Amino acid sequence: MNDLPKQTSPNHDIVSQMRQLITVLKQHNHAYYVLDNPTISDSEYDDIRKRLIALEEQYPQLRQPDSPTDSVGDKPLPAFMQIKHDIAMLSLGNVFSYDELIAFMRRINDRLDQSHQNPEYEMELKLDGLAVSLKYVHGKFSQALTRGDGRVGEDITLNIKTIRNLPLFLPKCTNIDLLEIRGEVLMPKAGFARLNKQAIERGEKTFANPRNAAAGSLRQLNPAIAAARPLAFFGYSVNQGLPSDITSQSGALAYLRELGFETTPVQTARSAKDIQAYYDDVARTRSDLPFEIDGMVIKVNSLALQEDLGFLSREPRWATAYKFAAESAVTRLMAVEWQVGRTGQLTPVGKLEPVSVGGVTVSNVTLHNFGEIGRLGLMVGDMVSIHRAGDVIPKVGGVMVDLRPSDAQSIELPTSCPVCESPVVLPEGEALARCTGGLFCAAQAKEALIHFVSRRAMDIDGLGKQWLISFHDMGLIKTVADIYRLPTHQQTLVTLEGLGEKSVQNMFAAIEKSKATTLPRFIFALGIRGVGESTAMNLATAFGDLPQLQQASIDKLLSVPDVGEITAHNIYDFFRAVHNIEVINALITLGVHWQPFTAQTDLPLDGQTWVVTGTLSAMGRDEAKAHLQALGAKVSGSVSAKTAVVLAGEKAGSKLDKANSLGVTVLDESAFLALLHEHQRT
């Protein structure tokens, strides 16, 4: 009769081995799904599980009823069966503000008699997943239904069985004929991120959010697929079979936890003020939770009072959801305007049909750059989803192409700057379009002015930044050429508070002095993108004077040391913007001048190898390197006996030590700056 293998150890040894494996598996399930902090790898987990399965196969009669291996075969289901709920699954009403909360609480007071006014409320998190109803018969899990239409749900028993944190056997409930527990199935954020990462790696479609991922997982006809999805169950109510000594919602949740279910944290309060304080707390810390919530649920705590209050047609009177303002919304893109930033970049701004997102009305949204418009496939007239979380600026999450109207219009990059009408360029392979009118464009004026007067450019130190900006704001200075026209405003200037006759004279003297400059300084002062001091020096060396530089072809520009594709185009485009040329001509007419630049043919550092180490205060290491190269030096990364000089900034380390031990010449920053000055590099 008994065909079991002969047991070599007493039954209780096998049982205790099984119990041990079950405990370990449950701990890891908790760590993985609830804490989102797995402490072992998936394969290690599988190994433990396999060991338990092996024992269960060998000793089926000792199999523990709560074994987590009690999951499903991988036979696909034909379809989900429709089953009627014993008790309808209703939804919840909503409140969105403190005033609405007070109105909800007032409605409750109005229905309660005098002795039950201001009842205690119990608060839970509103988990953002899917509602399910679970049945346990004599403590054994027997059925799971979706909410469906509230009256009839779908039988997803096999999929639910694969959820790792769900107890399948409740040893304390074997005497309860039928226990019905309701709660939420959700996918923790970390599991969601992993799932989407895997999908991307496999070139599959990703899920938009954890809730969709959870829903998609439960709808799998093949439970083996659902089993591989990181789902978790959180109980929030006991709808049948609750022991009669439990008389409150918080008591019911404590009971669920005792049975081994996960629940949301619970808090109780009586006043609207305290409820609001808890809500504010939850709203502030929600991003720290391992799963997503969309608000808080407030329930009258006493089950007897819940019964007295009863239901409206589709929702209980005794509970409501205090929801967070939606952080995304759908609206129409009405137009696109282009804004010009202070460095000339053109940013498209979407004009929206105003919509409330996260409690704030949004009518403009940055589209970042022209490349982003292409990436989104966006057209004017499209319906777009707008996202915003916390204080984060709103952004377009996606375009509903299916809803595109027939008169939708494509979005073109403007050919001329909306501020100064200079040509707009979009360098190949770049997302950012730019206005080329750097010297003329009002949007870029402040940047251009500050750069122009700076010490390493035209060096007008008597004209401080504050005054420069004030003069610009007063309309006295529009372009850099107007700096040299300031003396015509002498009468106005001397009357300004803080500017006396004397300081105006000093200012004019500094302006006058700056007229005699050098070609490299002047080129640098123009503020062409990508043209720093050393590139300006290299351009001056290569072209000798401004007209030659102005007329240079892209190829010619590319032959200059330090000038790459992008900078070559920036220089070329800069000198093709008519307004820039007008400003340059005005500067020359107003007296700015320089000597033609003759480069030294015998470079002073020819044949020397330098090493730059430590931190320099006046410039970055790359800039120092560019200066050294322009003076003929080779710059190397390591110190050897062949090193001619080590330039050591602050906190120089092992390279300096090595230089000292090899007896290599060491220069500090001030000596280096003196050297640059001597060779007209500063």
Alpha carbons 86 and 92: distance in angstroms, whole number: 19
Cβ nearer to ligand IVH, comparing 55 with 92: 92
Binder among 56, 154, 155, 184 for ligand IVH (CB under 6 A): 184
Identify the three-state secondary structure at position 441.
coil
Query: From the CB of 216, what's the least distance to ligand IVH, in Å?
Result: 17
Round to whole Å and give the CA distance between 300 and 248: 9
Q: Does 409 bind ligand IVH (CB under 6 A)?
A: no
Q: Is residue 635 near ligand IVH by the rule CB under 6 A?
A: no
Residue type, 209: N
CB 456, CB 517: distance < 8 Å: no
Which CB atom, from 309 or from 441, has the smaller least distance to ligand IVH?
Answer: 309
The one among 16, 27, 58, 91 contacting ligand IVH by CB under 6 A = 91
Q: Is 261 in the site for ligand IVH (CB under 6 A)?
A: no
Question: Residue 124, interface with ligand IVH (CB under 6 A)?
Answer: yes
* Interface region with ligand IVH, contact rule CB under 6 A, candidates 88-96, 210-218, 268-276, 641-649: 88-96
Task: Calculate the dihedral angle through the C-alpha atoms of 39, 45, 49, 50, rounding to the nearest 10 degrees.
Answer: -150
Query: Least distance from C-beta 238 to ligand IVH, angstroms?
Result: 12
Out of 157, 264, 306, 643, point to the residue binding ligand IVH (CB under 6 A). 264
DSSP string, 69-126: T-----PPPSSPPEEE-SS-----EEE-SHHHHHHHHHHHHHHS-GGG-S--EEEEEE
Helices (H) and strands (E) in the chain, counts: 24, 27
Q: Which phi and psi (to 5°) does residue 145 adopt? A: -125, 145
Best CA proximity match to 68, nearest among 168, 210, 174, 208: 168
Q: Does 458 participate in binding ligand IVH (rule CB under 6 A)? A: no
Q: Which of 105, 145, 321, 340 contacts ligand IVH by CB under 6 A?
A: 321
Joined tokens for residue 458: 């035209």
State which residue, 90 or 326, has the beta carbon closest to ligand IVH: 90
Q: Which residues of 610-648 are buried (b: 16+ CB within 10 A; e: fewer)?
A: bbbbbebeebeeeebbbbbbbbebbbeeebeeebebbbb
Contacts (CB under 6 A) with ligand IVH, residues 561-590: none
**Number of residues binding to ligand IVH, judged by CB under 6 A:** 16
Instruction: Sort 66 into a burial class: Cβ within 10 Å, 0-12 / 13-18 / 19+.
Output: middle
Residue 185 interacting with ligand IVH (CB under 6 A): no
Per-position DSSP letters for 594-635, written without gaps between them: EEPP---SS-TTTT-EEEEESB-SSS-HHHHHHHHHHTT-EE
Residue 297 lies near ligand IVH (rule: CB under 6 A): yes
Pick the stretch among 45-53, 74-82, 85-93, 267-275 that binds ligand IVH (CB under 6 A): 85-93
Cβ proximity to ligand IVH, 82 vs 91, nearer residue? 91
Q: Which stretch binds ligand IVH (CB under 6 A): 47-55, 75-83, 126-134, 437-445?
A: 126-134
Is residue 218 at the binding interface for ligand IVH, with CB under 6 A as the rule?
A: no
Q: Length of the chain in residues, anyone?
A: 682
x/- string (CB under 6 A) for ligand IVH, residues 228-257?
Answer: --------xx--------------------
Shortest Å, Cβ 118 to ligand IVH: 22
87 Cβ neighbours under 8 A, 6+ residues apart:
180, 239, 240
Q: Write phi, then psi, for 288 (nearest 5 degrees).
A: -80, -15
Q: Please identify which residue in 49, 85, 126, 388 interacts with ligand IVH, judged by CB under 6 A.
A: 126
| 92 is a contact residue toward ligand IVH (CB under 6 A) | yes
- In angstroms, give the least distance from the CB of 258 to ligand IVH: 18
Nearer to ligand IVH, 124 or 155 (CB): 124
Rounded Cα–Cα distance for residues 38 and 210 (Å): 19
What is the spatial distance between Cα 572 and Cα 151, in angstroms, rounded to a whole number? Answer: 72
Q: Is 642 a catalytic residue?
A: no
Closer to ligand IVH at the Cβ: 231 or 297? Answer: 297
Selecting among 6, 75, 126, 205, the annotated active-site residue is 126
Residue 444 lies near ligand IVH (rule: CB under 6 A): no
Which residue sits closest to ligand IVH, CB atoms considered? 131
Residues serving a catalytic function are: 126
Tell me which residues touch ligand IVH (CB under 6 A): 90-92, 124, 126-127, 131, 147, 184, 236-237, 264, 297, 316, 319, 321
